[in-house]
Amino acid sequence: MMPILYLILFLAVFGSGFTVSLFTIPAKAMKLMLAFTGSLLFSIAVLDLIPEVYSSLGKQAGIYILVGFFFQIVLEFFSHGIEHGHTHHHNSKMFISTMTISLCLHSLLEGMAVCYHPLDTGSDVNNGLYIGIVLHHMPIAAAVMAVLIESPVSKLTRIMVLALFAIMAPLGMFLGAHAGALVSLPYGNILLNITTGIVTGILLHISTTILFESSEDHRFNFYKFLTVILGALLTIFILL
């Protein structure tokens, strides 16, 4: 089952980015998708990840959540907020390099948090977070390709960057699933719980930023509000 999950995640992200090289995605559609994923990630963090992390780490969980929250601010210094759809920046080769490193680290950590119970014989998968990451990384991949198309890099480089970003979350899942074998238990569990705490903070930062930015000039938008509600309802349905 796990190899199928790896493949689905890779193809969904890579395919989403590659589609941008063939078709132009309307800005309104992108904003609605971002609002949906923002609501989904926020709901997953509040309803699932935060209780899980506090149950595993106790009061120390708050420290790691804060670390993740502020670490995301550092990552966005290099990615210029492409995690929540920003594509209006200088697309130099230096920026492409720093953006790629930032997004790959971000994606790797999120993938590790998907597998939250490392065992020698396998690992459980957090289905809610898995679905959230798939849906969250698809618009990121689209934004990445939009930036690459406007940059001075070659077509081959665009495909390589997109493929590298798409493979990082599955790689993170693999590392998380085998943390018990890679690091002697119980330290593998502890490491994964800490990683999940950091990822929770990252998701809280990204999701709240998306939700705040989806409200243009603080005006009520019925379609965006409905999209946000649907994201929360889907999370509740997945976690039931």
Q: pLDDT per residue over 148-194, tens digit each?
A: 888 888 889 899 999 999 999 999 988 887 765 555 555 667 777 88
CA distance 56 to 36: 29
Q: How confident is the model at residue 120 (pLDDT cuts 50, 70, 90)?
A: very low
Find the mean pLDDT for residues 103-126.
Answer: 73
Phi, psi of 116 (to 5 degrees): -105, 5
Q: How confident is the model at residue 128 (pLDDT cuts 50, 70, 90)?
A: confident
Per-residue pLDDT at 64? 95
Over 80: is that where the pLDDT of 73 sits? yes
Q: Using alpha carbons, select from 104, 41, 23, 84 the residue that is nearest to residue 213.
A: 84
The residue written with tokens 């790959």 in the block is: 104
Task: Report the Cα 237 to chain-centroid distance in Å.
Answer: 20
Q: Which of 117-121, 123-127, 129-133, 200-204 has the highest mean pLDDT?
A: 200-204
CA distance 81 to 92: 16
Q: Using alpha carbons, select from 119, 123, 117, 103 the residue that is nearest to residue 6.
A: 123
Q: Could you tell me which residue, 90 or 26, shows the higher pLDDT?
A: 26
Beta carbons of 93 and 151 less than 8 angstroms apart = yes
The per-residue pLDDT for range 13-66, each reduced to its tens digit, is 999 988 887 777 777 777 888 889 889 999 999 999 999 899 888 889 999 999
Q: How confident is the model at residue 122 (pLDDT cuts 50, 70, 90)?
A: very low
Q: In the chain, what are the domain boundaries?
A: 2-239
